[in-house]
A and B are shown apart, each in its own frame.
Chain A
């Protein structure tokens, strides 16, 4: 018996050979070929071929496996004949490099490989001063608007690009507006693991944005407990994130105090501040892993701020105009997501927010000691909302989503003793499918319907996007969709009962090539506005307009060592007839050409980052009321130029990861004019310019991680 077995070992070697290919018939090298449960086997060569001998006999299973591919198996009966086996391996899920919808959107995320931006990019963009919106302004489609808050996208106003946090609408994402000065976003970029900037054609999950959307996704459980301390030229901040021992629960919060008083004492502003801007704000959060797949998140934010200033009156030379603002803002957001089983996912969200602005508008005598007039404006808006969404996974990749949301919104406008209040009940339902025809070709087909009780009208908005991957890194996308928005709240004051939804229809085509080291993208769009609100001679939905253009984006992290840069260029052709425009004209918030160059260089030897951001925009239209009506908005301001510089030095101070930041906006002191205000008698005008040409910032941010502290203790 033993002899027989031994004889078999010597004489019974059978050769197995063949060639391994992928689904596209390309040879695969490095594939592990084995007879299951035996040592026998080999690895395929560069041409995909292989050959090995075995002493195994009888019924066996041949296996071909490679990381990132499905394993192929082949049952055989080994006798005395050589065997041939030519396996075909298919890329496995996750490695598939699946096509995804990309028309109109830029994503910053760590989770999805091959995104255009990383969350850190938002913080490290020079000139943005860690403001999400300012960083997004360096992407194609966004305008360089310095006199009003918000993102002005593809010929739209700031109102046309709403902000969403974890699927919920944010009513007041920016600090309360101040005449002719754009305000920062309220929310810290460190709160979010993902940011999507859509400049059109976005998902049916979101509504009430004619032009774009800023979709923010909050962080999950922190990796470890940590605390932060921020000290800067404008204030102080403290924060903490605590992770439970079981790593299933975390809570945290931040407290920030900002006072621009000392800074304004050093750097003269155009406005004479009577109340130096002071902001107190803070947030709290908790996150609970309710199961392996379930997550409950709460985020709450509160702000109190005040400021007041005087500036020379345009209408009454020698007098001063007074502006004061007190703001109280609360935003809360509670969301829950879980996989119910392998097919179903549930999302539930609830949010409440409340914003109160107390504004004083006055006139003072030239000497500033006599108050000639004072009017009080009290604006308040609140929003309670709820949303539910179900996702049904179909097949390997496709999914169907549907849901509904309800908003209970109130607005009150007070002007001295006059008071106007509105309540709107808004209801929306949506359904959308991500349909994969192949791994390279997909469609997103969706529809959204909305009702507003104030307008007493329904709308229905179909949206379709297609994406086709022509090569591993290259894909084409097209998108079409209807987008509706309620008219701006200001218009409601004049006959809201006669108004209906404002509508924009988007057509987008784009091509992109994305690799780890570079991104290239070109996108063309056409947007048609209808139902824009006109206020002369009557408040109606009689306006219309269009915007079309082409945009380029190039990002390169490889060519120059330690240098990462991107270039965005936007060409925009837009006209609209709305508000008091006598005819369709290019609006004063739209520049024809916009260019941004963002440059980041890392110096490993001195652990420093140097950031430069250069922005250019061609002159924007303004109207000189002394010109005939036919020349409405025919004048152009000087072009906009801005160079922001930031320098970060990274250090380890007693185990605390520390970043020192020095930044200057508009370092070259370029003159920036956003438009002109004219006096009522048209004889005087004043350029709309920033409060100061440059803004300097010095700060230190320290992060104390529990583990790092431990490291320090261990080392001593």
Chain B
């Protein structure tokens, strides 16, 4: 009887543990799926909040923090009221730092950090360009060292060059080889799981096409 009781207990534990993680994966999948299609800041905020709730309930998973930060970074890019950009970038930086502490030396997290730095530039390009441009470049360099196969490194690098005037070392000509490399890497890139980062391929292809125009 005792044996049965114990084995039932173990069984229960196993079930609840897998139930927990399958619930996590289901919740993540549900929120990762719309990421490619959402286009409004409000929807991004909703997704960000969903990821944040998952992150704070799970506590040890870096992905929900990463995605919450990614949503905030996208909002910061989209926000046109320059008084508000820093607020979103600050929030994205907080999530990125949490993801970083849970998964140190992660190429994807460094890509996110780089996005946050470049999102801040537009508030005041004249004074901020140098500082945050450099910060963004350093993060990408580190991301590349950590995982040379990560296509988002080259996408972000190419994107940065694409929107930087040629006088500062940017321009379409400088962006093209990087975007080409990004597209090539996307071709061979396999995300570690269905909920690991895989965004950016369409964007890379689209920007590359613009470089050739």
Contact = CB atoms under 8 A, between A and B. Distances in A.
Interface string A21-39: 0000000011010101111
Contact of A517 (B49, B82, B88, B130): B82
B168 A652 contact: yes
Contact of A43 (B46, B57, B87, B123): B46
Given A32-B53, A37-B57, A113-B86, A1 B134 contact: no
A711 B130 CA distance: 14
Interface in B93-107: none
A2 B169 contact: no
Contacts of A42: 49
Nearest to B11: A2
A601 interface: no
Given A30-B42, A119-B127, A67 B83 contact: no
A36 B72 CA distance: 21
Contacts of A275: none
**For chain B, which range describes its interface: under 10, 10 to 19, 20 to 34, or 35 or more residues?**
35 or more
Nearest to A714: B141
Contact of B82 (A34, A516, A604, A655): A516
B69 to A, nearest CB: 12
B33 interface: no
Nearest to A124: B126
Nearest to A65: B52
Interface in B44-78: 45-46, 49-50, 52-54, 56-57, 72
| Range of interface residues on A (Cβ < 8 Å) | 35 or more
B165 A707 contact: no
Contacts of A268: none
Contacts of B168: 607, 650, 652, 657
B165 A604 contact: yes
B56 A34 contact: yes
B166 A607 contact: yes
Contact of B169 (A38, A39, A43, A711): A711
Contacts of A34: 49, 52-53, 56
B79 to A, nearest CB: 11
B7 interface: no
A37 B15 contact: no
A621 interface: no
Contacts of B88: 67
B138 interface: yes
A160 B53 CA distance: 60
B127 A707 contact: no
Interface in A115-151: 118-120, 124
Contacts of B86: 113
B4 interface: no
B91 interface: yes
A41 B51 CA distance: 11
A711 B12 contact: no
B201 interface: no
A356 B15 CA distance: 87
Interface string B154-186: 000000000001111100000000000000000
A661 B131 CA distance: 22
Interface in A679-716: 705, 707-708, 711
Nearest to A705: B134
Contacts of B23: 39
A41 B127 contact: no
B127 A110 contact: yes
A34 B52 CA distance: 9
Given A37-B56, A120-B127, A607 B165 contact: yes
B200 interface: no
Contact of A118 (B56, B91, B127): B127
A68 B87 CA distance: 7
Nearest to B92: A67
A39 B127 contact: no
11 contacts: A1-B12, A34-B52, A39-B57, A43-B49, A67-B87, A113-B83, A124-B126, A516-B123, A607-B167, A650-B168, A708-B169
In the A-B complex, the 6 residue pairs with the smallest Cβ-Cβ separation, listed nearest first, are: A607-B167, A32-B49, A67-B91, A516-B82, A30-B45, A43-B46
Given A110-B127, A707-B138, 18 more contacts: A2-B15, A30-B46, A34-B49, A34-B56, A36-B56, A39-B57, A40-B53, A43-B46, A67-B87, A67-B91, A118-B127, A120-B126, A120-B127, A224-B134, A515-B83, A516-B81, A607-B165, A652-B166
